[in-house]
A and B are shown apart, each in its own frame.
Chain A
Amino acid sequence: MKISEGDVEYVAKLAMLEVADGEKKELAEQLSRIVEYVEKLNELDVRGIEPTSQVVTSVKHAVRDDRVAPRTGSSDAARTVKLFKVPKVITER
């Protein structure tokens, strides 16, 4: 699969990365090579093999009780900060 410069722009935008015009061609080529490498998997017959999304498969679900625990560690940040401040969000999501 060929990754175009347009794809690079699109992905960069989604990832909020700035990519200089001069870099796009090079990145497109590199990304193409990576995807092509993964495409090797298409040569294998994977029928009947469960997709792996997690590396730990022995744990079905680790759950906890619905109990409120006292805050620890870096929640100190919250105690001193009170509110977090970011540059004005102009657009509504």
Chain B
Amino acid sequence: MIHPYEAVIGLECHAQLLTKSKLFCSCSTKFGDPPNANTCPVCLGLPGALPVLNRVAVTMAVKAAIGLNCTINPESQWARKNYFYPDLPKGYQISQYDRPLGHHGFIEIKLEGKQKRIGVQRVHMEEDAGKSLHEGFPDSNRSTYLDFNRSGVPLIEIVSDPDIRSSAQAYDYLARLKQILEYLDVCDGNMDEGSLRCDANVSVRKFGDQKLGTRTELKNINSFRFVQKAIDYEVHRQIEVIESGGQVVQETRLWNSVEERTVSMRSKEEAHDYRYFPDPDLPLLVVDSEWIKTIQRSMPELPESRRERFEKEYALSEYDAGVLTTTRALADFFEETAKLSGHAKTAANWIMGDLLRFYKDNNVDLKDLSGSRVTPRMLAGMISLVDKGTISGKIAKTVMEEMYKSGKDPLQIIEEKGLLQISNTAEIEKIVNQVLEENPKPVEQYRLGKTGNFGFFVGQVMKATGGRANPQTVNEILKKRLAG
């Protein structure tokens, strides 16, 4: 039976920009400082304090908007979003409303080989609110405590079109958004620390219906793992409501990650009427073509095009190119190794095999490989040692591990550990003779035509040389000697 329902999903994501100071004042944005250490009259919303815009925040927001293929509004406007909540000291949030910084962009997602374009309705700038501490104080049953360090930290909100049709697509969209923001160095993409947050608007409708169903807004899905689970749960719940003759209620629901379900947020009936109006304290945000051009020139190659280029330029598979472009640092690492060694495919194999496993075992953050003990130069050096026959591929694995452990140069490791490959014919012949003498039975079998045990002899020679014998030479000599 064909499932008669389809899900319609839109994501609203907030990304914290990586500026040093806040959006409208010179307080630090540092995470983890003592409560309220980074506050001033502006971000505490004291009367008379006036906001002054952070230029770098705008530059980063424009970068993100361009990276998401948006059109940049040459003139965008700051608006006040009015609501009362203790973590919002001014009683309004400075945001953008009818004239956002960027609009009409898209993110290309790809699932099971199928490409799909998810529209990005808008990218706008706004300030973050403070943090409410509801628990952990002796009087937490009566009081809420507030830390305004986060108040005024610059954010961009990225609103997708309702183009997403499954939780898997939502996950892919989010993963690509995160990757683009990380490549651009405008957000660290850390969902656990809240620098990337995500809400989902979810509705279902019968296939073929043009009209959208009633949607619910899912909040608190601030982890990659939860995005898929929360959406799946909610889609299922809405279908059940409809199937049992009920109606989906438009509401905000919270994802409860312990019970793995969404629950209605029984807030007091709160009007979603924010009475937006242009902020009279802030002039229009003008981003002229000169500024945009300067920003465009500073844009790095984005993951999508880098992936494609890797496939073409280095003849990599789509999968390999995808893995190697996970982060900008990893892609740089690969590309430098490929250039230095002249063997892109081999470089890719070493990085994807051994190096990535080492990184994973040691919890290395792939976004920053500047501290990696294995450098592209070392890896390229090792690759050319294999290429020249100085060491065998098998020994190279040992060298690789040693490089990762000690950070020593491959040549130094080979010398110190006596790992030089034996290519000297006379020397190998001696060992081959010895192996044949010690194994008269297999030799007899081989000569009677059971040549399938050839590998056994190779293994014995390798064992005798600690894997250092040149395999090609070993093969040649063995064949000759076994032939009688």
| A contact residues vs B (CB 8 Å cutoff) | 10, 13-14, 16, 53-57, 59-69, 71-75, 77-78, 81-89, 91-93
Binding site for A on B (CB under 8 A): 19-21, 26-28, 34-41, 44, 46, 52-58, 77, 82-86, 132-134, 140-148, 254, 265-268, 270-271, 273, 275, 278, 280, 282-286
Q: Take A63-B55, A83-B36, A86-B143 as given contacts and tell me if A93 and B85 are in contact as well, using a CB distance cutoff of 8 Å.
A: yes
CA of A73 to CA of B40 in the docked complex: distance in angstroms?
8
* Bound Cα distance A88, B416 (Å): 67
- Distance A67 CA – B82 CA, assembled complex (angstroms): 29
Specify which chain B residues have a CB less than 8 angstroms from the CB of A81 in the assembled complex.
Answer: 36
| Chain A residue at minimal CB-CB distance from B154 | A66
Contact B57 A60 (CB under 8 A): no
Q: Is the CB of A13 within 8 A of B271?
A: yes
CA distance A69 to B141 in the complex (A): 37
Say whether B141 contacts A91, CB under 8 Å. Answer: no
Please name 20 pairs of A and B residues whose Cβ atoms are closer than 8 Å in the assembled complex, sorted by A. A53-B280, A55-B280, A61-B53, A61-B284, A61-B285, A63-B54, A64-B55, A66-B54, A67-B20, A67-B26, A71-B27, A71-B40, A73-B40, A78-B148, A84-B36, A85-B145, A87-B142, A88-B134, A93-B83, A93-B267
B247–chain A nearest beta-carbon distance, Å: 24
Residues in A neighbouring B26, C-beta threshold 8 A: 64, 67-69
**CA of A16 to CA of B265 in the docked complex: distance in angstroms?**
21
Are A71 and B283 closer than 8 Å at their CB atoms? no
Q: Which of A61, A66, A73, A75 contacts B56 (CB 8 A)?
A: A66
CA distance A77 to B77 in the complex (A): 32
For residue A63, which residues in chain B have a CB less than 8 angstroms away from its CB?
A: 52-55, 58
What is the CA–CA distance of A64 and B55 in the complex, to the nearest angstrom? 6
Q: A74-B46, A75-B44, A87-B142 are in contact. List 8 more A-B contacts (CB 8 A).
A: A10-B271, A13-B271, A61-B284, A64-B52, A77-B44, A82-B34, A86-B143, A93-B267
Q: Given A54-B282, A77-B44, is A84 in contact with B146 using a C-beta cutoff of 8 Å? A: yes
Does B144 lie within 8 Å of A87, measured CB to CB?
yes
Bound-state Cα–Cα, A16 to B52, Å: 29
In whole angstroms, what is the CA distance A91 to B57 when docked? 32
